[in-house]
């Protein structure tokens, strides 16, 4: 049954069927061929999405939509520009720093790409070629799932079960996220110097920096409240997401005064559409997981890999290579839902810290969002800027390589991932 499910999924995905439906068709056909009552399909789908922690995803998506309409992105850009605008590659630095801060309130790469792309691409293209401008925004947006709060981390924790907590995953992403931001900025400086890109922005002024910091203060406080509350056990991830929505409403309606009541239906609709896509993937993929369980795929996979190697580091390397390939071909949410139930228990059997493995798993798939041929951020940026994907791909490859460099550092030095969670008792 599993072979039929995977084969049909591959066929329908290749011909352009939406991934959720491609997964569902494969799973239903496999169960039907095995003589099972198909009433199990809606039961499994409902069981998968009937989850309180899962509610955090649409709420964080709504918070991100509200922040864009509230003009929060503009304030973050002005804040970043006051700090790093007048350096070599300054506009790129502003984009990356704004992406880092926006990541701490949005939790999703696509939302960050849309917000930063529509706002910053015109300024970027005044100073840089179109392909490089798009690559900078895609790289900054890819900080979204790494820096908490992160929808990807929530999905992973949900699929891994009790072995990993959302708060622990959030803490695990902070140090690698900072390293990635600094690495992007260093790479942007090197590229700017080599290509002779001009200086832009106004010279640094302490007074201006303090003014912009004060103006952005309430926005910068939001991730501290939301993530700090989740990690400190004051509220759950779902409650934290709801607080983020209320916070964004208050800031947009009464502080920036850019958010109008007439904007709310559009924000709700866009958040609902994105949440429905994730929900459909989770629901249909849960049926595939059920098919894998019936075919004893987890047990067979465990026996195969353990016969292949008993070394935990070799196991991690094998999984990372596999995820690199999967990330190039399959949308990341589908990969979490189908693969985490298979590999998370395997990692435990090798004695690997579940939080460490969870972060590496998530991070590898995040990098896949920028890796062709199915790098979703490449398609998003191509749609926003009308730049061919091939042109963006050539410019984005150094940033992809840097992300894999940070991944290698995390594998070689696990404390980069585990030190901060350890301080908070995870």
Question: Residue 405 falls within a domain, yes or no?
Answer: yes
Question: Residue 28 falls within a domain, yes or no?
Answer: no
- pLDDT band at residue 425, thresholds of 50, 70 and 90? confident
Kind and range of the H or E run holding 334: helix 332-349
Q: Taking Cα atoms as reference points, which of 213, 219, 211 lies closest to residue 256?
A: 219
> What is the count of structural domains for the chain?
1
**How far apart are the C-alpha atoms of 101 and 82, rounded to whole Å?**
14
Question: Residue 18 falls within a domain, yes or no?
Answer: no
Question: Residue 205 falls within a domain, yes or no?
Answer: yes
According to the model, what pLDDT value does residue 419 have?
93
Report phi then psi at 31, rounded to 5. -65, -40
Most confident of 214-218, 327-331, 342-346: 342-346
Across the range 262-285, mean pLDDT stands at 83
Asked whether the predicted pLDDT for residue 266 surpasses 80, the reply is yes
> Helix 2-14 and helix 264-294: axis angle, to 10°?
140
Across the range 165-176, mean pLDDT stands at 91
Indicate the SS3 state at residue 204.
coil
pLDDT tens across 67-101, in order? Answer: 878 877 777 777 777 776 566 667 888 888 888 88
Dihedral of CA 10/16/22/23: which sign?
positive
- pLDDT band at residue 330, thresholds of 50, 70 and 90? low
Question: Residue 275 falls within a domain, yes or no?
Answer: yes
Q: Are 370 and 325 in contact (CB under 8 A)?
A: no
Global pTM?
Answer: 0.81
Across the range 195-217, mean pLDDT stands at 75
Question: Residue 115 falls within a domain, yes or no?
Answer: yes
- pLDDT band at residue 410, thresholds of 50, 70 and 90? very high
pLDDT tens across 228-241, in order? Answer: 888 777 888 788 88
According to the model, what pLDDT value does residue 61 have?
81
Asked whether the predicted pLDDT for residue 199 surpasses 70, the reply is no
According to the model, what pLDDT value does residue 402 have?
95
According to the model, what pLDDT value does residue 252 have?
87
- Please indicate whether residue 132 or residue 218 has the higher confidence score (pLDDT): 132
3-class SS letters over 17-46: CCHHHHHHHHHHHHHHHCCCCCCHHHHHHH
Our measurement of the distance from residue 136's CA atom to the centroid of its chain's CA atoms, rounded to an integer in Å, reads 16
Q: Which domain holds residue 352?
A: 52-423
According to the model, what pLDDT value does residue 374 have?
63
According to the model, what pLDDT value does residue 86 have?
62
- Across the chain, what does the average pLDDT equal? 82
Find all residues with CB under 8 Å of 230, minimum gap 6, and list them: 149, 166, 167, 170, 236, 237, 240
- pLDDT band at residue 308, thresholds of 50, 70 and 90? confident
| CA distances (Å), origin 158, targets 154, 344, 348, 424 | 6, 12, 16, 20
pLDDT tens across 351-402, in order? Answer: 999 999 999 999 988 888 887 766 778 877 887 788 888 888 889 999 999 9
Kind and range of the H or E run holding 178: helix 174-195
**How far apart are the C-alpha atoms of 274 and 17, rounded to whole Å?**
17
Of 35-44, 329-338, 407-416, the poorest mean pLDDT is in 329-338
- pLDDT band at residue 202, thresholds of 50, 70 and 90? low
Question: Residue 9 falls within a domain, yes or no?
Answer: no
Question: Residue 24 falls within a domain, yes or no?
Answer: no
Of 41-50, 80-89, 268-277, 285-294, the poorest mean pLDDT is in 80-89
């Amino acid at each position: 049954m599993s072979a039929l499910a995977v084969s049909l999924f591959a066929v329908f995905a290749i011909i352009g069927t939406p991934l959720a439906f491609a997964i569902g068709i494969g799973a239903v056909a496999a169960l039907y061929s095995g003589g099972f009552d198909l009433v199990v399909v809606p039961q499994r789908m409902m069981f998968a999405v009937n989850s309180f922690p899962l509610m955090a995803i649409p709420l964080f998506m709504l918070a991100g939509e509200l922040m864009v309409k509230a003009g929060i992105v503009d304030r973050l850009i002005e804040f970043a520009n006051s700090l790093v605008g007048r350096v070599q590659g300054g506009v790129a630095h502003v984009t990356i720093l704004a992406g880092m801060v926006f990541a701490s309130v949005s939790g999703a790469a696509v939302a960050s790409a849309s917000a930063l792309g529509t706002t910053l691409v015109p300024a970027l293209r005044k100073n840089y070629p179109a392909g490089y401008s798009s690559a900078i925004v895609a790289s900054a947006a890819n900080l979204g799932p790494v820096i908490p709060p992160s929808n990807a981390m929530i999905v992973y924790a949900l699929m891994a079960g009790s072995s990993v907590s959302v708060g622990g995953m959030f803490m695990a992403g902070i140090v690698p996220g900072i390293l990635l931001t600094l690495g992007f900025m260093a790479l942007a400086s090197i590229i700017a110097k080599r290509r002779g890109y001009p200086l832009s922005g106004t010279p640094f002024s302490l007074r201006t920096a303090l003014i912009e910091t004060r103006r952005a203060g309430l926005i910068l406080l939001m991730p501290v409240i939301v993530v700090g509350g989740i990690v400190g056990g004051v509220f759950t991830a779902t409650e934290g997401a709801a607080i983020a929505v209320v916070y964004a409403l208050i800031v947009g309606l009464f502080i920036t005064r850019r958010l109008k009541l007439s904007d709310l239906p559009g924000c709700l609709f866009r958040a609902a559409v994105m949440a429905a896509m994730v929900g459909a993937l989770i629901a249909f993929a849960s049926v595939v997981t059920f098919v894998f369980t019936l075919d004893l795929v987890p047990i067979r996979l465990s026996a195969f890999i353990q016969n292949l190697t008993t070394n935990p580091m070799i196991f991690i390397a094998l999984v990372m290579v596999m995820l690199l390939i999967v990330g190039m071909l399959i949308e990341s949410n589908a990969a979490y839902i189908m693969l985490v139930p298979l590999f998370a228990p395997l990692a435990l059997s090798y004695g690997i810290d579940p939080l460490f493995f969870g972060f590496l798993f998530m991070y590898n798939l995040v990098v896949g969002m920028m890796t062709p041929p199915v790098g979703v951020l490449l398609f998003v940026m191509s749609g926003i800027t009308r730049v061919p994907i091939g042109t963006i791909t050539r410019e984005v490859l150094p940033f992809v390589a840097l992300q894999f460099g940070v991944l290698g550092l995390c594998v070689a030095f696990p404390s980069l991932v585990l030190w901060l969670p350890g301080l908070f008792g995870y």
